Amino acid sequence: MSNLASNLHFALGQIAPRPGPRHVTILLATYNGAALLKPQLTSFIGQTHDDWSLLVSDDGSTDGTRTIIQEFAKAHPSRRITLIRGPERGSAQNFLSLLRAAGRAPFVAFADQDDLWLKHKLSRAVSLIGREDRPTIYGSRTIIADQNLAPQRLSLLFKRPPSFRNALVQNIAGGNTLVLNRAALERLQPASRTAKRIVAHDWWSYQMVTGMGGSMIYDATPGLLYRQHSKNQIGANDTVQAMAARMQRLVDGRFSSWLDAHFEALNGARPWLTPDAIETLEACASLRSPSLIGRIRALRQSGICRQTCKGSAALVLAAACGRL
């Protein structure tokens, strides 16, 4: 706790009621988000699940982001709202630092700075996770919205059951939808120290929870408006442009480098993984075989797959071309 204490900007809401067994700590990562932040904060207040606190990690904003957080805390003195300094090593590391700072929260919910949560978001997630003892992660579809939060369409609906073999090569739920129970949090906190080069905290969380024998609940009911704008780090993945970008990443080797970073983190986290997950990871090592037959055999032995037939076909093509 010493590092957390040294990073503490302020902690208001000291008269907040004692957290209950269904308490949710919202983990909000911010960076120069002043222009779009206020609707997201307001949507926290509108949640039907009222037992929550807010932990904000600001990654060195130079606009009015921190001032907005401070004003929000002062306007809601009955809420436990804490602001800490982020590591300033990118979004993924900022979220991982939030995980470590969350202590023994019963539930944690990742939050982006530019969306708008629907009022049922937390209550639905907590209800579906229930009293599950094993590590569990919840994620959902979203409503894709424009820059002004006008709804446009639903995000893609994935129909295959979530699994570690899917998680190795695909993220199926955005980090802005994820909620984890304490069993998942307690394992991800130490494991996060091995994840030094990961591309996305949400993808890594899906990999880790399923790899440690936990479960993922994928909810077809959306829980938020996912704002699309020019500064989105990832953005919606269901457009023609997004599909073209995925193919480009396969061709130019970026996807391969992403896999390297995440496989490195997973190998570093072997103490938390099941024997089956470790065996799958070891099979994936042969995806870099100089032999075409060796690469295709490794793909089959590993069992890795994407959610759609087209996506899985692209995996075969990438393996054949030595791009995994």
Instruction: Return the pLDDT at 19.
Output: 81
- The stretch 128-140 carries a mean pLDDT of 96
Give 236's pLDDT tier (boundaries 50, 70, 90): low
Contact by Cβ (8 Å): 135, 118:
no
Residues 6+ apart with CB under 8 A from 1: none
Mean pLDDT for the chain?
Answer: 90
Q: Which residue has the tokens 């002043």?
A: 34
E strand or H helix that includes residue 194 = none
The predicted-structure confidence for 84-105, as pLDDT tens digits, reads as follows 999 999 999 999 999 999 999 9
Instruction: Please tell me the class of the 2-227 domain.
Output: alpha beta
Instruction: Return the pLDDT at 18.
Output: 74
The predicted-structure confidence for 148-158, as pLDDT tens digits, reads as follows 999 999 999 99
Task: Return the amino acid letter for 278.
Answer: I
Instruction: Return the pLDDT at 179.
Output: 98
Instruction: Return the pLDDT at 310.
Output: 87
Angle between helices 292-302 and 309-320 (to 10 degrees): 150
The predicted-structure confidence for 273-293, as pLDDT tens digits, reads as follows 999 999 999 999 999 888 999
Q: Which of 29-33, 145-149, 205-209, 245-249 has the lowest mean pLDDT?
A: 245-249
Q: Is the pLDDT of residue 39 over 90?
A: yes
Instruction: Return the pLDDT at 9.
Output: 44
Token couple for 323 = 């791009």
What spatial distance separates the first Cα and last Cα of the chain, rounded to whole Å?
40
How many Å apart are CA 32 and CA 274, to the nearest integer? 39
DSSP 18-86: PP-TT-EEEEEEESS-HHHHHHHHHHHHT-S---EEEEEEE----SSHHHHHHHHHHH-TTS-EEEEE-
Q: Is the pLDDT of residue 51 over 70?
A: yes
Please give the angle made by the CA atoms of 176, 135 and 108, to the nearest 5 degrees. Answer: 35
Strand intervals (E) in 141-272: 143-145, 151-154, 179-181, 215-219, 224-227
DSSP 71-134: HHHHH-TTS-EEEEE--SS-HHHHHHHHHHHTTT-SEEEEE-SS-EE-TTHHHHHHHHHTT--S
Give 244's pLDDT tier (boundaries 50, 70, 90): low
Q: Is the pLDDT of residue 6 over 90?
A: no
Token couple for 209 = 């929870």
Q: Which residue has the tokens 């049922």?
A: 120
* Phi, psi dihedrals of residue 54, rounded to the nearest 5°: -125, 125
Give 14's pLDDT tier (boundaries 50, 70, 90): very low
Contact by Cβ (8 Å): 307, 160:
yes
> What whole-number percentage of the chain has pLDDT above 90?
79
Give the residue extent of every domain in the chain. 2-227, 240-320
Instruction: Return the pLDDT at 230.
Output: 62
How many Å apart are CA 317 and CA 73, to the nearest integer? 51
